[in-house]
């Protein structure tokens, strides 16, 4: 059986045949139920249209004010870049850099990368530097957090409404539209179709088949000496005794398994657990007003929302800022320990836990965006000022470290022990 009609699951490494999928359908792994690919009609054309619209919305969102406060005839307004600048001036440059990267830099790079690939293909031309640009787009995808920013802005509006009259700026509406447009562009950007289109323009096979036959009884790509590119999805042979190779299609580094996966996951997890303590104990925000000074922690902010009647937002902030980071750490500890102990229990369920951990990680940035808006807007020197506390830096570090921990963990390791036992059983039989 050749590679030309095979695909490998990126979560359990199971080899499976490619089958036709109806329009709008999804092909899932028959073992762990991970999504392998979708058949979206005119996906690249829609991704191009959405990306062009996103460029326009980016300009509006970063030029016009997001929100403003009106106190005694004085209006204080801010843009997203203005809020980042205020944090930088206050000496909180790590938070300023994190907010800028996740709400401005990464979404822009992802959108520009998609346009760089899609515009030439629209006119049947090969994009210049396509492999590098594609890898850049794939790298930026998990770090763009526009949807979390929108929720953070809504929470900030509730808190600001208790201080002064809130003036909603045009950028708030454009950010809401941008969130939907970016989500639609990412969903329509089909990697499989993209590289098939590139191969058609270059007049060569998209996935040249191997001449060698696969070993009898092989279940996974690794057992056949094949590695899956996690960037473009290509299945390629890894040279014997080689620690790594490069994808022949997009140039990304390929491994049979992520190197030192469990060790690196533990390193990021331990660092996240250390930073989780000051993130919840130290003040996340300092408020100075006519009524005195007040230090707020993340938990006190939840209590404030609850007592002020915003119960739904209090629950959202508690889940995103307190429960999710803690549960994500515990889930990754469980997955890492069970993998190290070579447990065969509940493999499909553990894979599903890993999938959830990857999805919810970014939502912990909610409180960081709330603090960013409050610090930028509440700067009435005679009445009240708000400054970010050191806990905000620690909390941002927890979010980044747990995301790195999830990225370095290799879920295929959970299935390896089961495959080795099955192979031993077949040999004994």
* Digit-coded pLDDT (tens) for 116-128: 999 999 998 989 9
Q: Is 210 left (phi over 0), alpha (psi -120 to 50) or beta?
A: beta
Say how far apart CA 401 and CA 408 lie, in whole Å: 11
Two tokens, residue 213 = 């036959």
Contact at 8 Å (CB) between 210 and 237? Answer: yes
* SS3 category, 16: strand
Domain spans, the chain: 43-197+259-418
* Digit-coded pLDDT (tens) for 230-257: 888 888 888 766 667 888 888 898 888 8
- Residue 91 confidence (pLDDT): 86
- Residue 73 confidence (pLDDT): 67
Two tokens, residue 239 = 């040279």
As a whole number of angstroms, the longest Cα–Cα distance in the chain is 85
β-bridge mates for residue 419, sequence order: none
Statement: residue 210 has pLDDT above 70: no
* Digit-coded pLDDT (tens) for 49-64: 999 999 999 999 988 9
Confidence of residue 200 (pLDDT cuts 50, 70, 90): confident
Statement: residue 217 has pLDDT above 80: no
Contact at 8 Å (CB) between 265 and 336? Answer: yes
**DSSP secondary structure string for all residues of 225-266:** TEEE-TTT--EEEPPTT-S-EE-TTT--EE-SS-TTHHHHHH
Two tokens, residue 411 = 């879920």
* Digit-coded pLDDT (tens) for 168-199: 888 989 999 999 999 999 888 988 888 888 88
Q: Is the pTM of this model over 0.85?
A: yes
Which whole number is the average pLDDT over 97-102? 94
Helices (H) and strands (E) in the chain, counts: 16, 15
The residue assigned the tokens 């205020």 is: 86
Contact at 8 Å (CB) between 121 and 44? Answer: yes
| DSSP state at residue 245 | E
- Residue 405 confidence (pLDDT): 95
User: Which of 16-25, 129-138, 211-220 is predicted least confidently?
Assistant: 211-220
């Amino acid at each position: 059986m050749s590679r030309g009609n095979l695909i490998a699951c990126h979560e359990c490494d199971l080899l499976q045949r490619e089958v036709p999928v109806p329009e709008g359908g999804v092909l899932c792994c028959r073992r762990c139920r991970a999504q392998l690919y979708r058949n979206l009609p005119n996906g690249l054309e829609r991704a191009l249209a959405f990306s062009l619209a996103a460029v326009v919305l980016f300009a509006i969102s970063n030029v016009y004010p997001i929100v403003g406060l009106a106190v005694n005839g004085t209006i204080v307004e801010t843009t997203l870049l203005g809020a980042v600048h205020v944090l930088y001036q206050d000496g909180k440059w790590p938070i300023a850099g994190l907010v800028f990267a996740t709400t401005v830099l990464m979404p822009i790079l992802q959108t520009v990368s998609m346009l760089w690939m899609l515009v030439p293909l629209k006119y049947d031309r090969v994009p210049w530097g396509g492999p590098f640009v594609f890898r850049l787009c794939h790298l930026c995808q998990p770090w763009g957090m526009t949807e979390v920013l929108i929720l953070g802005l809504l929470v900030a509006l509730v808190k600001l409404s208790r201080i002064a009259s809130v003036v909603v700026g045009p950028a708030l509406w454009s950010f809401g539209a941008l969130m939907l447009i970016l989500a639609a562009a990412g969903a329509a950007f089909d990697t499989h179709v993209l590289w098939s289109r590139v191969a058609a323009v270059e007049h060569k096979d998209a996935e040249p088949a191997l001449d060698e036959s696969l070993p009898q009884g092989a279940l996974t790509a690794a057992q056949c000496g094949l590695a899956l590119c996690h960037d473009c999805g290509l299945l390629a042979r890894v040279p014997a005794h080689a620690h790594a190779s490069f994808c022949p299609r997009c140039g990304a580094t390929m491994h049979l398994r992520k190197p030192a996966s469990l060790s690196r996951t533990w390193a990021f997890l331990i660092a996240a657990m250390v930073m989780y303590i000051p993130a919840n104990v130290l003040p996340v925000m300092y408020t100075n007003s006519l009524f005195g000074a007040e230090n707020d922690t993340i938990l006190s902010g939840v209590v404030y929302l609850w007592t002020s009647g915003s119960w739904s937002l209090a629950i959202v902030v508690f889940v995103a800022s307190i429960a999710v980071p803690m549960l994500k750490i515990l889930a990754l500890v469980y997955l890492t320990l069970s993998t190290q102990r070579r447990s065969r229990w509940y493999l499909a369920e553990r894979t599903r836990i890993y999938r959830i951990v990857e999805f919810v990680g970014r939502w912990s940035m909610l409180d960081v965006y709330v603090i960013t808006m409050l610090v930028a807007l509440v700067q009435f020197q005679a009445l009240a000022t708000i400054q970010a506390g050191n806990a905000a830096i620690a909390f941002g570090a927890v979010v980044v470290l747990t995301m790195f921990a999830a990225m370095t963990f290799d879920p295929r390791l959970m299935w390896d022990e089961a495959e080795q036992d099955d192979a031993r059983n077949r040999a004994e039989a």
